[in-house]
A and B are shown apart, each in its own frame.
Chain A
Amino acid sequence: MNLNIVEIDNLSFGYKGRLLHKGINMMFPRGKVVAIMGGSGSGKTTLLRLIGGQIKPSHGEVRVDGDVVHKQDRDGIFKLRRKMGMLFQHGALFTDLSVFDNVAFPMRELTDLPESMIRDLVLMKLNAVGLRGASGYMPVELSGGMARRVALARAVALDPNIIMYDEPFAGLDPISMGVICDLIRSLNDALGATSIIVSHDVKETFLIADYVYFVANGEVAAEGTPHDLMHSTLPFVHQFVHGEKDGPVPFHCPAANYQSELMNSKTND
């Protein structure tokens, strides 16, 4: 049995010649919480979509449990996806279903369990995220943090081996953030799963991650345990971790000389 449940091997991906990723290598060991960090637009979410097989890489490959994802046919990809659970950025709850039905959705669609057993399982999952009392609500009646927790219950409904989180902390108040943080770690350990977190929230991510990859300019800029990275001397990591305004990632979008542009605008027309 392979030690790493997900392996990304020399992966490149891009649209129309513009490469978003240039030869990325990553390992996700079983039972660990691994974070992928990077600035907005650095292709972190795209990495999750590549692991899930929603898009195909230009070069290289992603292996899940030893199977190359993009070489699977439709059934093969569906089989792989049953080992995965994913928490989307804004929860992506089905707005036409109640909280209960949302969590029951993957069970009803993918298993032949009797309705009574589904009911018990759903209540167990909802209890784990502390929202058993909200099972009759519709998603619009929930706060952002509650919706995220319901989505988490849905993501782990079928006890997946891999749980992927796309920006789990974005747009939450500090209390909800702490709750989600706690849940990610405890669910990971309780299910014996592997968690992949895509985030740019340094504090929360470093709190729960076992290992962190930094992505910048389509490459892995740095990797290591949170403790190592905290004290890293790499300028990019230093800027990111400490949230400095200017550094290797410039404040200004690349542009022509400010002064000459202002002067030119007069003579242009």
Chain B
Amino acid sequence: MIKSTLLIAVARMLRGLGARMIDRIWRLGAGARLFFLTIFYSGESFRRFHLILREIYFTGVMSLLIIIVSAFFVGMVLALQGYNTLQKYGSSEAIGVLVALSLVRELGPVVTALLFAGRAGTAITAEIGLMKTTEQLSAMEMMAVSPIARVVAPRFWAGVISMPILATLFSMVGILGGYLVAVPLIGVDDGAFWSQMQANVDFRVDIVDGLIKSLVFGVACTMIALFEGFDAPPTAEGVSRATTRTVVISSLTVLGLDFILTSFMLVV
């Protein structure tokens, strides 16, 4: 008797695990399918570029404030913390290098992507989820207009274009924040701050690598947000869950991708 109930419990657990696994793989496949369809229908949205411009306004321009403010504080904190450690080794002039390299290579792309997922990604998911709930996507389809070409593709390209711009701004504003703390506040030499930075930050290696990272994050974050919105069950609860999932999955994906990209960039 006990044996059989145990067996049933184990079987149920395994079934749950299997179902979840199948669901994950199905979602991955569906996401990939949406991605390829988006690329396939992109020609149409590029021909009417004002659609993309409109979405750049909503994803990029609207994220400017949070990006700039966060970057400023991240830069200032980096300078404070960096100075605290560096001055123990008597090399506080290297603070510029520390701030610049951490921002350009890592924090710029990664923190921008995380903020983007929270600010623009959730907005995209909620908007598309609600369009689905209120049958707007269905209506579009019935008008012989593909929602992927009209709704998904412009948002995708807007995200892909906005992300590197936001990441570059993040790095630059962060460095300015670091400068403000290091030079006027702490009193590091102005010339040493910039010259050390210039001697050690390479445009082709560090800055371009950072840009490539943010481009990849842009594709990932936007695609996840779009897929979650497109896939959301057409109920209030479904949309709210999808929005949460956008943030969680985007953040994890960005961090995982960052590790993979960094290891590739350091090896090659």
Per the CB under 8 Å rule, do A and B touch in the complex? yes
Which A residues contact B (CB, under 8 angstroms)?
52, 54, 77-79, 81-82, 84, 86, 88-90, 92-96, 105-106, 109-110
Determine whether B142 belongs to the interface, using a CB cutoff of 8 Å to chain A: yes
In angstroms, how far is the closest chain B Cβ from the Cβ of A124?
A: 18
6 tightest CB-CB pairs across the interface, nearest first? Answer: A92-B139, A92-B135, A81-B144, A78-B144, A86-B142, A109-B145
Option from B131, B138, B144, B145 in Cβ contact (under 8 Å) with A88? B138
Report chain A residues within 8 Å CB of B134. 90, 92, 95
How many A-B contacts if CB must be within 8 Å? 48
Report the contact-size class of chain B (Cβ under 8 Å from the partner). Answer: 10 to 19
Determine whether B65 belongs to the interface, using a CB cutoff of 8 Å to chain A: no
The complex places the Cα of A205 from the Cα of B142 at a distance, in Å, of: 23
The complex places the Cα of A52 from the Cα of B127 at a distance, in Å, of: 25
The complex places the Cα of A86 from the Cα of B135 at a distance, in Å, of: 11
Determine whether B143 belongs to the interface, using a CB cutoff of 8 Å to chain A: yes
Report chain B residues within 8 Å CB of A88. 135, 138-139
Most buried by A among B130, B131, B134: B134
Which B residues contact A (CB, under 8 angstroms)?
127, 130-131, 134-136, 138-145, 150
- Can you list 27 A-B contacts with CB-CB less than 8 angstroms, sorted by A residue number? A52-B141, A54-B138, A54-B142, A77-B144, A79-B144, A81-B141, A81-B142, A81-B143, A84-B142, A86-B139, A86-B142, A88-B138, A88-B139, A90-B134, A92-B134, A92-B135, A92-B138, A93-B136, A94-B131, A94-B136, A95-B130, A95-B134, A95-B136, A96-B127, A105-B145, A106-B143, A109-B145
Report chain A residues within 8 Å CB of B150. 109
In angstroms, how far is the closest chain A Cβ from the Cβ of B152?
A: 14
Report chain A residues within 8 Å CB of B135. 88-90, 92
Option from A77, A93, A109 in Cβ contact (under 8 Å) with B143? A109
The complex places the Cα of A88 from the Cα of B143 at a distance, in Å, of: 12
Report chain A residues within 8 Å CB of B142. 52, 54, 81, 84, 86
Determine the residue in chain A with the shortest Cβ distance to B137: A92
The complex places the Cα of A134 from the Cα of B142 at a distance, in Å, of: 25
